[in-house]
């Protein structure tokens, strides 16, 4: 990224009106977490070309990442005015709406993204998460499976399916081993370093009756939550850990799908 940033800055010194360079410099800055600088570059690109769809989408993504959801939604809608069939803009608008709790509107946007781009794994996964948050679990599982079909080694949909199976065994029967297999694979792919996946893995072990493994895995998840100073998540995991130590599975009442909107997948536009 540092080299790319230097190259784009050099290009802009030679030609300050190089619209694509402003957009791509913004992308490079965003990849380093330098959101304010990235947003400024996207705005510069749009001053030079007010019909630059990718820059509206990227500006919206930067604003959403900065927590400025209302303004992000406005930018995504502007992108869709110019390009109504943009799957990326529909997907990203859906994420911003979901982050505001507007799940029905979000579901509509994810479906529109998939109408144009049926193999859009990220939109399938985002749709699944929104449906899951809304309680439509059967359809959520189908959407997670579609995401996996298009992106077979992606941990996120594995985690989503495993969580539903592990925490709703009364609906899906004895699926503990299936859930364990998915969660273990997701944990392997993320090197056992992702909090949400370890939390899910612990729940799947409990669903399969492997309470000792559930306990040690939940303790690992708790360590990650504590290190990241995620107090609410740490308290949730402590409650689950207490159940596992008592030889109990995770019931629906304690398996509320955590506020995982940060796991929705924004998709950047490039020129």
The boundaries of the domain holding residue 183 are 158-265
**Residue 183 domain-assigned?**
yes
| Within-domain flag for 167 | yes
- 189, part of any domain: yes
The size of the chain, in residues, is 271
Could you tell me if residue 186 is inside a domain? yes
User: Quick one: which of 180, 176, 144, 169 has its CA closest to 255?
Assistant: 169
Q: What is the CATH number of the domain that holds 259?
A: 1.25.40
Q: Which residue in this structure is represented by tokens 């949730």?
A: 236
Query: What angle (nearest 5°) sits at the alpha carbon of residue 220, between those of residues 260 and 199?
Result: 30
Tell me, yes or no, whether 258 lies in a domain.
Answer: yes
For residue 67, is it within any domain?
no
**What's the pTM value of the predicted model, to 2 decimals?**
0.89
Whether 79 maps to a domain, the answer reads: no
Establish if 252 belongs to a structural domain: yes
Q: pLDDT digit of tens for each residue in the chain (271 aa)?
A: 789 999 999 999 999 999 999 999 999 999 999 999 999 999 999 999 999 999 999 999 999 999 999 999 999 999 999 999 999 999 999 999 999 999 999 999 999 999 999 999 999 999 999 999 999 999 999 999 999 999 999 999 999 999 999 988 766 556 668 999 999 999 999 999 999 999 999 999 999 999 999 999 999 999 999 999 999 999 999 999 999 999 999 865 455 544 444 567 666 654 4
Domain count, the chain: 1
């Amino acid at each position: 990224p540092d080299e790319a940033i230097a190259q784009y800055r050099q290009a802009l010194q030679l030609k300050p009106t190089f619209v694509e360079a402003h957009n791509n410099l913004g992308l490079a800055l965003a990849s380093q977490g330098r959101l304010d600088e990235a947003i400024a570059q996207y705005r510069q690109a749009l001053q030079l070309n007010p019909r630059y769809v990718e820059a509206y989408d990227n500006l919206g993504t930067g604003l959403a990442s900065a927590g400025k959801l209302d303004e992000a939604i406005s930018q995504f809608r502007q992108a869709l005015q110019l390009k109504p069939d943009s799957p990326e803009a529909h997907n990203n608008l859906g994420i911003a709406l979901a982050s505001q709790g507007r799940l029905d509107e979000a579901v509509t946007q994810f479906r529109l993204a998939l109408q144009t781009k049926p193999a859009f794994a990220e939109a399938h996964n985002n749709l699944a998460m929104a449906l899951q948050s809304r309680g439509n679990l059967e359809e959520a599982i189908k959407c997670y499976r579609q995401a996996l079909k298009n992106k077979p080694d992606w941990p996120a949909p594995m985690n989503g399916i495993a969580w539903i199976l592990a925490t709703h065994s009364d609906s899906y029967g004895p699926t503990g081993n299936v859930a364990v297999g998915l969660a273990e694979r997701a944990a392997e792919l993320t090197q056992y370093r992702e909090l949400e996946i370890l939390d899910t893995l612990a729940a799947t072990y409990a669903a399969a009756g492997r309470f000792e493994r559930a306990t040690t895995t939940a303790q690992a998840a708790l360590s990650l939550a504590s290190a990241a100073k995620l107090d609410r998540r740490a308290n949730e995991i402590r409650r689950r850990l207490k159940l596992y130590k008592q030889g109990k599975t995770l019931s629906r009442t304690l398996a509320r799908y955590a506020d995982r909107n940060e796991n929705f997948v924004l998709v950047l536009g490039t020129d």
